[in-house]
Amino acid sequence: MFPYIFALLWLFSPGLIWSASAEAPSHIRAELISEFDAVIPGQQFRAGLLFQPEEGWHVYWQNPGDSGRRPHLTFDLPSGWLADDLLFPVPERIAVGPLVNFGYPGKVLLPIALEVPPSAAPGPLRMRAHADWLVCKEECVPGEKDLYLNLIVAGADRESGHQLLFRNTEKQLPIRSSQLHVETERSDKIIRLDIKAEAPLRLPAADLLYFPLESGEIQNAAVQRYVLKGDHASLELIPAAGRRDPPSQLHGVLVAKQGFGAAGMPYGIEIGEPRAVAPVTRLEEAPLSIGLLSALGLAFLGGLVLNLMPCVFPVLSIKILSFAKQGCASRQEAVKTALLFGLGVLVSFVGLALLLLFLRGAGQELGWGFQLQSPSFVAALALLTFILGLNFLGVVEFGARLQNLACTLDRHEGALGSFVSGVLATLLATPCTAPFMGSAIAFALSTSSFKAVLVFLALGTGMALPYVVLGSSPSLLRLLPRPGPWMVRLKELLSFPLFATALWLVWVLSIQHGSGAEMLLLFSMLLVGFGAWLMRAVRSTVKGWIVILLAAALGVAGAARAGRPPGTSPDSAVSIQGRLHWEPYSDTRVEELKKEGKPFLVDFTAAWCITCQVNKLVAFGSTEVQSALLRRRVTLLRADWTSREAGITAALARFGRAGVPLDVYYSGAPDAEPEILPSILTPGAVLAALHD
């Protein structure tokens, strides 16, 4: 009987090639089959690559795991025919010593969708495809083969003898389901998936495994602990150790060996989105063509310009005051104050550089302004500016009373104060990227630690220099008006930019971590206010400060706890601004638009980046720009970096940047280079890029 069937099969498919030929043993049989023998024009159907390995041998899934290689199939299609990607049924874990591979330890069909063009001419057709694979037991044997598929294009379709195999395989293909909800909670040591299923899906009591679709996500060989509790289940994964770029979100397949529920329910459910960029490409493409000297020069210039940026303005106010104070101090005193301020700036820049290098060394994706991606830092800064504002208003006193505004400058406080205001200036400067700074910082982050510190030092020098020059030059100082009661008024007036900064930081926190965190922060501000009142009411500075500090601690701790895990992008990413519609940024979308040859603009931004907010208002708020963008049908993508997002950090790195703002315009013309717009965006600059 069998030889008979074999002969028949051979007769009906003369092109079928058994890969078990006379050569070296291949340990596997590979063939190309179809669910239909006869197909009709316009029909979509499935063909497939069928592997039948010998006992003990296996082929691989699309992500082979610790070693191995996925099979490939490329069709040599007649014109007008279409082939989709090879589909992979749910895999199994295959242990090889301490390593684990993902694959199929037996017969497996990898289906592929084909489409017959409506214009296909009737008649027989022999289609060729090239397959290559790796089959392993203990050792591995690569194989490749030209495979053939015989079809007839006819008026009616006819099923082949493989229908059942295709139907059974279909059930094993992972699907996407809105009935399965997965929340990811991750730390350095563990990734915990919290899984919930809605009817008709049901979570299995046991045998649920996660298979990553992309490499470098998890330790493939680690045991996955699965616990079902009522309608919830948790699955614990161990993150891949030692990766420089741990993927911020998972992309893989959850596989239930017995299926997610009754018969007819799927066995595999795909979760997460494809990772934006492979780390390799990112590092390769980073165009860091500038040398150390130009980086230092650019950093210095950037530091100078930083003084003029909107986010440094509140600190500018502090400094103006201290110089006015110096109008009556001795020259030595003035020089000393200026130098101390400069020292404060430099020390904090170096501190920032070291912290950044340390954290990046620990594998974090960070850039300029990174500390503002931390909710605790934002909350702390908001409280600090608020308390400082109260101090300027004269509500809260730091130790001694008002005299320090007059000419009796307390020496100790003056020295410390100058240094601290330098530190403050640096902290407040971080949300800003001044022109020239972008490439200098990107250079710093890609070079040796020593050079990186040098670049940051140059930045600090640039920022501190105007003050040091002003402070140490008596002729310039004489230009400042004589001290007097106006200084108290000025100081009070200057509390308002500080309050504005605090407001803005509250807004940043609310975008980053929702209204719960925002409310807590506002509440702790209320307590700070109460502490300030207490100070006066009971004439106890100590009690007042205890309340203020407790309130601040509450705000910071609250912000840290209320934080939702990074990766959930803030809603502000998609927005309608005037007549403009912004889509959230993704690398896939960029590739799509590039392929379609459509013009598009990417706006890399963050809520905590004031320059970005100003750009948004000035450039994209202008009706002229809006009309030009709409007329040219420019697709607008907004990459929101408010919370840490590895994909966006990587995209920034491709432009040689380590921070925002960055605006890039793609004209859509074939082979046109993307155009990088100026950091400080004007309507004119956008219009010029659009050639409008």
Partner 1 sequence: MRRLVLILAVFLMPAMVFAETAVNTAAPEFSLPDPTGKMHALSDYRGKFVVLEWFNPGCPFVKKHYGSGNMQQLQKKYTAQGAVWLTISSNAEGKQGYINASNAAEIIAEKKLASTALLLDHEGSVGHAYGARTTPHMFVISPKGELVYSGAIDDNDSPDPEAISSSKNYVAAVLDQGLAGQPITVAATEPYGCSVKYRS
x/- binding map, residues 28-67, to partner 1, per CB under 8 A? Answer: --------------------------------------xx
- Taking CB under 8 A as the rule, does residue 333 contact partner 1? no
Q: Which of 98, 155, 230, 264 binds partner 1 (CB under 8 A)?
A: 98
- Taking CB under 8 A as the rule, does residue 101 contact partner 1? yes
- Give dist(CA 420, CA 391) in Å, integer: 15
Stretch that binds partner 1, among 91-99, 330-338, 432-440, 537-545 (CB under 8 A): 91-99
Nearest distance, CB of residue 311 and partner 1, angstroms? 30
- Taking CB under 8 A as the rule, does residue 140 contact partner 1? yes
Return the number of the residue (199 or 280) whose C-beta is nearest partner 1. 280
x/- binding map, residues 186-215, to partner 1, per CB under 8 A? Answer: -----------------------------x
Stretch that binds partner 1, among 219-227, 260-268, 613-621, 631-639 (CB under 8 A): 219-227
Stretch that binds partner 1, among 399-407, 444-452, 575-583, 658-666 (CB under 8 A): 444-452
Greatest Cα pair distance in the chain: 113
- Taking CB under 8 A as the rule, does residue 446 contact partner 1? yes
Cβ pair 646, 425 in contact under 8 A:
no
Beta strand spans in 393-441 (E): none
Cβ pair 218, 237 in contact under 8 A:
yes
Count of chain residues binding partner 1 (CB under 8 A): 40
Cα-trace Rg, the chain: 32
Return the number of the residue (67 or 404) whose C-beta is nearest partner 1. 67
Nearest distance, CB of residue 290 and partner 1, angstroms? 12
Stretch that binds partner 1, among 17-25, 140-148, 257-265, 434-442 (CB under 8 A): 140-148
Nearest distance, CB of residue 596 and partner 1, angstroms? 27
Q: Which of 235, 286, 425, 634 binds partner 1 (CB under 8 A)?
A: 286
Cβ pair 229, 64 in contact under 8 A:
no
- Run of H or E residues at 124: strand 123-136
Return the number of the residue (455 or 477) whose C-beta is nearest partner 1. 455
What is the spatial order of strands in the sheet that 108-115 belongs to?
28-34, 44-53, 108-115, 82-86
Nearest distance, CB of residue 15 and partner 1, angstroms? 24
Q: Which of 284, 450, 475, 669 binds partner 1 (CB under 8 A)?
A: 284
Return the number of the residue (445 or 634) whose C-beta is nearest partner 1. 445
Residue 97's Cβ-count burial label (10 Å; 0-12, 13-18, 19+) is: exposed
Cβ contacts of 303 within 8 Å, gap of 6 or more:
434, 437, 458, 459, 460, 461, 462, 463, 464, 465
Nearest distance, CB of residue 56 and partner 1, angstroms? 13
Both tokens assigned to 529: 């206010």
Return the number of the residue (363 or 481) whose C-beta is nearest partner 1. 363
Stretch that binds partner 1, among 29-37, 154-162, 240-248, 364-372 (CB under 8 A): 240-248
Nearest distance, CB of residue 362 and partner 1, angstroms? 9
- Taking CB under 8 A as the rule, does residue 7 contact partner 1? no
- Taking CB under 8 A as the rule, does residue 97 contact partner 1? yes
AA identity, residue 283: L
- Taking CB under 8 A as the rule, does residue 173 contact partner 1? no
Return the number of the residue (166 or 370) whose C-beta is nearest partner 1. 370
Stretch that binds partner 1, among 11-19, 94-102, 263-271, 567-575 (CB under 8 A): 94-102
DSSP label at residue 269: E
- Produce one character per residue of 437-451: b if its CB has 16 or more CB atoms within 10 Å, e if not: bbbbbbbbbebeeee
- Taking CB under 8 A as the rule, does residue 221 contact partner 1? yes
Nearest distance, CB of residue 61 and partner 1, angstroms? 15
Q: Pairing state of beta strands 575-577 and 191-197?
A: unpaired
Residue 528's Cβ-count burial label (10 Å; 0-12, 13-18, 19+) is: buried
Cβ pair 633, 667 in contact under 8 A:
no
Cβ pair 32, 85 in contact under 8 A:
no
- Taking CB under 8 A as the rule, does residue 279 contact partner 1? yes
To which residue do tokens 């003084």 refer?
307
Stretch that binds partner 1, among 131-139, 156-164, 330-338, 540-548 (CB under 8 A): 131-139
DSSP 209-267: EEEESSTTSB-TTS--EEEEETTEEEEEE-BPTT-SS--SS--EEEEETT-SSSTTS-S
- Taking CB under 8 A as the rule, does residue 240 contact partner 1? yes
- Taking CB under 8 A as the rule, does residue 134 contact partner 1? yes
| Nearest to 46, CA basis, from 114, 125, 118, 126 | 114
Stretch that binds partner 1, among 201-209, 235-243, 574-582, 662-670 (CB under 8 A): 235-243
DSSP 136-185: ESSSEEEEEEEEEEEEEE-SS-EE-TTHHHHHHHHHHS-B--TTEEEEEE
- Taking CB under 8 A as the rule, does residue 224 contact partner 1? no
Q: Pairing state of beta strands 600-605 and 635-640?
A: parallel
Cβ pair 162, 154 in contact under 8 A:
no
- Taking CB under 8 A as the rule, does residue 359 contact partner 1? no
Helix axes 437-446, 449-471, angle to 10 degrees: 140
In the complex, the residues that contact partner 1 under the rule CB under 8 A are 66-69, 96-99, 101, 132, 134, 136, 138-142, 144, 215-216, 219, 221-222, 238, 240-245, 279-280, 283-284, 286, 361, 363, 446-448
